[in-house]
Structure formats: C-alpha cells, structure tokens
Amino acid sequence: MAILKASLETFSINPERVWFKFISASEGKLFAQTVTEMVARLKQMGPIPTKEIWEI
C-alpha cells in the first residue's frame, strides 16, 4: 500500500484517492459508512487531473 501511494505521488496523483481499510464481513454498517465517506471525499477532491490531458 505504501508502495502504491508513493508511486501515485511520483505521478502527482493524490494518494488519498486510494483507501485501504480493514472491514470485517460482519461490519456492514461500517462498510457502507466508509464508502459514503470515500465518495464524499472524492467529490470534494474533484476529477482526477488525467481528465485534462490526452494521456491515460
């Protein structure tokens, strides 16, 4: 995970776009809550900068 985050940073992609959480199968509520939080955070960040360039 630290490797991925550092790689994203090198490419100037906010590593906060990738989340890593441990949620047990019995913690449905926590899972839903985490996804809601993640979506809210991503919306706040706005589109990824690759949207503005030709390259993918």
Nearest CB to other proteins, comparing residues 25 and 53: 53
Instruction: Quote the CA–CA distance of 25 and 9 in Å, as a whole number.
Output: 31
The secondary element (H helix, E strand) that includes residue 27 is none
CA 12 remoteness from chain centre: 14
51: contact with other proteins by CB under 8 A: yes
Nearest CB to other proteins, comparing residues 29 and 43: 43
Q: Which stretch binds other proteins (CB under 8 A): 6-14, 26-34, 38-46?
A: 6-14
8 Å CB contact between 23 and 34: yes
Residues near other proteins (CB under 8 A): 1-13, 20, 49-56
